[in-house]
Amino acid sequence: AKEGIILPEHLPDMPQKPRINRKTTLQKVDKKLLIQILKRHNGNITHSARELGIHRQSLQRIIKRYNINPQRFRKAS
């Protein structure tokens, strides 16, 4: 940084994956969106919750409310 001035090129690149606003309430989590996120993370609840910006336990309650089985999104090994 020249003369103590920080310019954009001095900063690391921002992550490209868009994150959902943390203010998303549990009631606003749409079933279709939840399924898309679970598919993207192969049924991994922890990673899906992180993308949503909510606690894993909160996501588990939403999954139960919508009667979704995350196992069906896991890839066979």
Range 7-14 average pLDDT: 78
For range 21-41, the mean pLDDT? 78
- Nearest one of 61, 44, 60, 50 to 20, comparing CA atoms: 50
Tokens standing for 41?
Answer: 């993370």
Q: What is the mean pLDDT of residues 46-74?
A: 94
Measure the CA–CA gap between 27 and 6, rounded to whole angstroms. Answer: 41
Q: pTM above 0.85?
A: no
d(CA 4, CA 2): 5
